[in-house]
Structure 1
Amino acid sequence: MTGVGTPDLRLGVVGLGMRSDLAELAHRPGAGSRVTVVCDRDPRRLAGARDRFGPDIVATDDHRALTGLDLDAVFVLSPDHTHEQIGVDLLGAGLPIFVEKPLAITTEGCDRLLSAARASGAGLYVGHNMRHMPVITAMRDLIVSGAIGEVKAIWCRHFVGNGGDFYFKDWHADRRNTTGLLLQKGAHDLDVIHWLAGGYTRRVTGMGGLVVYGRISDRRVPGGELMIEWLDPENNWPPLSQTGLNPVVDVEDLSMVHMQLDNGVYASYEQCHFTPDYWRNYTVIGTGGRLENFGDGGDGTVVKVWNRRGDYRPEADLVIPIKTPEGTHGGADPLLVEEFLGFVRDGRRTLTSPVAAREAVATGYAATVSLRDGSRPVDIAPVPDDLAEYFAAGQRKDIDR
């Protein structure tokens, strides 16, 4: 809890790209936290940092420089493939970190970060903001209340309507930076599936391919622009009319995975990057009913519950209107940042979980291995018991081991 006389948390930021808006939410000079150091390899972004965070900001192009500065925590908002090494370096210096999802681009990378956090005792937080989205928390509350009985199956369809603009014109399109979009983009939904199901995936089979954007030959080398600078949802349609794709495009634009969870729940996730609409739809089936969301934010979003038998009927037995607060990602980002700052200052418990973040990556990683290897089943090992216990206890080093 902050108040009069409480010093501001001193925050560092690594990565001034699209997700650096999270750092702006945390920059509250005199009100509890302020950004004092920024790091990015692009000199243009560094040059603009003083306009964003004030004239006294320290700017560097090497994240290791932050380990010698007087900081309370660091936001790691750089491209996915950099999370692992940057995180290990900062945790090793005793700095609590916020890592934007996904935690890393391999299961091994995630486990390395979990081990580094435990070894140093520095706090590790992962930016799975969907756990704060009202539509997701409403579904979670219904499930916990028993509205549909015991969960047995979850299906998620993710329509990524702006996929060509968001993920195929820069580093996201190159599997060396992401493993694949089933991991990069899917980490959010895989985490939500696990949260709603109350378990983690232990076996997957995947299927998918690069079925549309691989046919586009118009390519260009990115010039350091941010996605918002080329996004044109009115004109970049239909998908095959897209231009200026990344020189390397080797990630799937259509993918799906079947999952068997450790608690007996079965789940599926489908992701398509060339749909006309952009939203995600969850169906959760239990022993006493079914729930489904229509819309995932904004006006008209509802969660519907059916408990009575019958033929098709759009009228549900229970309809929960979802009010979306202000703020990016359906009002989730301000709550995410507030939770992280409370975690750093007071050690508060969080809705997000580093172990759950690892399990989402592990599922996406194994599914990608499966789909690229003839859809063979792939088993996923759980987090080692000692690490799981450490994070379950709130990242306290005084737990019994």
Structure 2
Amino acid sequence: MTDLRLGALGFGLRGSLARTAHRPGHGSRVTVVADPDPARRDDATARIPGVHTVDDHRKVIDAPDVDAVLLLTPDHTHADLACAALRAGKPVFVEKPLDITVECCDRILRTARETGTRLYVGHNMRHMPVVRMMRDIIARGEIGTVKTVWVRHFVGYGGDWYFKDWHAERRYTTGLLLQKGAHDIDVLHWLAGGYTRRVQAFGDLMVYGDNPHRRAPGEPKADDWYTEDGRWPPHTQRALNPVIDVEDVSLANMCLDNGVLAAYQQCHFTPDYWRNYTVIGDAGRLENFGDGPGAVVKVWNSRRSLHREQADAAHVVPEVADDAGHGGADALIIDEFLRFVRRGGRTDTSPVAARMAVAAGCGATESLRAGGVVRDIPDLDPELVAYFERGQA
């Protein structure tokens, strides 16, 4: 099988996906990386043997030796770059979230349909073993029909990863309820079997907004911006982004189109870092404890009057032989993208679902900034829905 030749736009934190996709002789190789930052271009050269680096995305999109594009740039750039790649006839992998506004997401979907070029969205959590396990439990009927879903996201490294660069500014993200929450909202929708139609939320900038230790405008992010042990507690963080105008804690309530009620909570100043899902059906409930290999998904489906730590069933999330990131999900999502580029067809990720996750995140952010006013989620053109549900055929 001839290697697919991939071009990568951006080589920041998600440059790891380009490294994962570089498999010379095994189906794919990254031939060129574009990034305006010389240091990141040097990093790409060091990490991807034989790669060519450029400073302009057009040199990737228009390159004759590029069969498909990995779009790994900051969120607010996605629509323009994705549409350019689609119009050039290059299948494109867009890292989540699809973009930071509903309008931009819809523009990407319309362009994909008009050009007939394949669009894939990097919601890798659909390939995480813990998520697959929960979905399988639900599909087997172990908790009956899903009626409500509660998600808590403890972001232990929030100060390091989200308040020291562009993530801290709403002009680049809309807000972390969208940027960080798009993953969880998509999984919530997938487990519940529906999309958010109405949303109401509250949130605040409780901790990082009061920290005076900011970089000067134009000053680069410090080399030691993140370490495994980190700075703790959060008020000891230094060299934060000059502008911080996104919330560091948020709570959202959602009504889905199939009647399911859901809640999502996100906090960036907790000491631990993991996601906790509770899914309750009309015949039981499940809950995960940990979200990586070795985590346990417990199921209770017999009634007792007191709390029971011992569940009726406990499923251990397996170890993975080759964990390139997110419990092996990064390698699996690249596998699916490459298969989709070659042969098309349905995928476990969904451009429609990606748009609906953004729409729910945007609606929730609008609600919390308006004092909790309920927001209705705008519909997506039914013709676009049908096109993508057919597998873009």
| TM bin (shorter chain) | over 0.9
Do residues 393 (structure 1) and 390 (structure 2) align? yes
> In structure 2, how many angstroms separate the alpha carbons of the residues matched to 1:352 and 1:31?
23
Change (3 A) 1:266 1:201: same
**Match 1:247 to one of 242, 262, 266:** 242
Instruction: Report what 1:363 is aligned to.
Output: 360
SS of the residue aligned with 1:18?
coil
Aligned twin of 1:116: 111
Looking at structure 1, the residues matched to 220 and 12 of structure 2 have their Cα atoms a distance apart, in angstroms, of 10
Partners of 1:258 and 1:17 in 2: how far apart?
33
Question: Hey, what does 1:14 align to over in structure 2?
Answer: 9
Partner of 1:210: 205
Q: Which ranges in structure 2 are unaligned for 5 or more consecutive residues? A: none
- Distance, in Å, in 2 between the alignment partners of 1:23 and 1:67 is 15
- For structure 1, the 5+ residue unaligned runs are 1-5, 397-401
Alignment coverage as a number of residue pairs: 388
2:33 & 2:353 partners in 1: Cα distance?
Answer: 28
1:63 shift after superposition = 1.1
Map of 1:374 onto structure 2: 371
Preserved CA contact (<8 Å) 1:260 1:266: yes
- C-alpha separation in 1, matches of 2:388 and 2:337: 15
**SS of equivalent residue, structure 1 residue 312:** coil
Give the aligned residue type for 1:291: L
Match of 2:56 among 62, 65, 68: 62
Which residue of 133, 140, 145 maps to 1:145?
Answer: 140
Describe how 1:323-338 pairs up with structure 2 within 5 A: 323-325=318-320, 326-327=322-323, 328-338=325-335
Which of 290, 300, 305 aligns to 1:306? It is: 300
1:27 is aligned to 22
Compared with structure 1, are the counterparts of its residues 68 and 235 closer, same or farther at alpha carbon in structure 2 (3 Å cutoff)? closer
Q: Percent identity?
A: 59
User: What is the distance in 1 between the residues matched to 2:42 and 2:286?
Assistant: 49
Residue 14 of structure 2: SS of its match in structure 1? helix
d(CA) in 2 for partners of 1:142 and 1:58? 45
Conserved 8 A contact 1:219-1:243: yes
Equivalent position amino acid for 1:379 in 2: D
Deviation at 1:262, TM superposition (A): 0.2
Aligned to 1:343: 340
Tell me, yes or no, if the aligned pair for 1:42 and 1:224 is still in contact at 8 Å. Answer: no
CA distance in 1, matches of 2:381, 2:156: 38
Are 1:324 and 1:331, in contact at CA under 8 Å, matched by a contact in 2? no
**Other-structure match for 1:291:** 286
Deviation at 1:92, TM superposition (A): 1.1
Q: CA deviation at 1:59?
A: 2.3
Q: Deviations over 1:331-377 (max 9, x none)?
A: 11110111111111121421100100000000000000000011100
Task: Give the structure-1-normalised TM-score.
Answer: 0.94
In 2, Cα distance between equivalents of 1:234 and 1:51: 26
RMSD: 1.4
